[in-house]
């Protein structure tokens, strides 16, 4: 059985790690290079780096900061934010990223998923989907959750898989930063209907929430930010708890 992955997420704005609630009210969470090194040392399975304002500010991801982080870690490293072309990905991979995460650009130009998968391989392509429930329907949002679309979460996820994405990073905007648990019902539906790994994001508050998303949400990985950044959950301890709950993890 594949081990379940624990993934800290560094949301970057103006070169600093930040964290908000429901995608707003951001507060500083520290230096991304220092945080990345700490997570690599304390048992994180992967690291995700999201330049959260790159798309909104119409600029590229901070390649130099990516390089500084990559030099400090020895675990798989996914980078997202402002990526809109094969050339953008080339630069990030040359600067130490192992995978890239695309979101708004994938919706605006779905062919980009095909192009990246063809050039770099599906294992390199993570499609991030931010969605919230509106009148009972999971609606996909863009530009850091600021722009609603007509897309349905499940229909878009299926298309993303068919186009060659290797993983989906699903963030429930309703759960983000609330610490009330992941959107396990939606995650279980995604995991059941798709054949690629699903990363759960949005809502981690307790160790039980991680157990729940692996058992009930059928998630392949769980991503969190503030509970790790502000020392509310310790990754080595979390993994011991998961192991006791018969969830396969890398210790």
Catalytic residues: 11, 130
Answer whether 112's CB lies under 8 Å from 102's CB.
yes
Q: How many CA atoms lie within 13 A of 150 on its CB side?
A: 1
H helices of 121-234, in order, are: 153-162, 184-193, 207-215, 226-229
Cα(116)–Cα(186) distance, integer angstroms: 27
φ, ψ (nearest 5 deg) of residue 52:
-70, -20
Residues 92, 98, 104: CA angle, nearest 5 degrees: 60
């Amino acid at each position: 059985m594949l081990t379940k992955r624990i993934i800290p997420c560094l949301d970057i704005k103006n070169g600093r790690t930040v964290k908000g609630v429901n995608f707003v009210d951001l507060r500083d969470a520290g230096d991304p290079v220092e945080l990345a090194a700490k997570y690599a040392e304390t048992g994180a399975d992967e690291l995700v780096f999201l330049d959260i304002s790159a798309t909104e500010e119409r600029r590229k991801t901070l390649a130099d900061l990516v390089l500084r982080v990559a030099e400090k870690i020895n675990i798989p490293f996914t980078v997202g934010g402002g990526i809109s072309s094969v050339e953008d990905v080339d630069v990030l991979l040359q600067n130490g990223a192992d995978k890239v995460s695309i979101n708004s650009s994938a919706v605006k130009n779905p062919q980009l998923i095909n192009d990246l998968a063809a050039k770099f391989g599906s294992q390199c392509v993570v499609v991030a989907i931010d969605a919230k429930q509106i009148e009972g329907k999971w609606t996909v949002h863009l530009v850091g959750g600021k722009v609603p679309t007509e897309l349905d979460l499940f229909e878009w996820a299926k298309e993303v898989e068919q186009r060659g994405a290797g993983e989906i990073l699903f963030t429930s905007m309703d759960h983000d930063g609330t610490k009330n648990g992941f959107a396990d019902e939606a995650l279980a539906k995604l995991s059941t209907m798709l054949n690629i790994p699903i990363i759960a994001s949005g809502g981690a508050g307790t160790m039980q929430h991680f157990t729940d998303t692996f058992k009930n949400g059928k998630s392949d990985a769980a991503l969190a930010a503030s509970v790790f950044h502000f020392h509310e959950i310790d990754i080595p301890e979390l993994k011991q708890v998961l192991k006791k709950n018969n969830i396969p993890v890398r210790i």
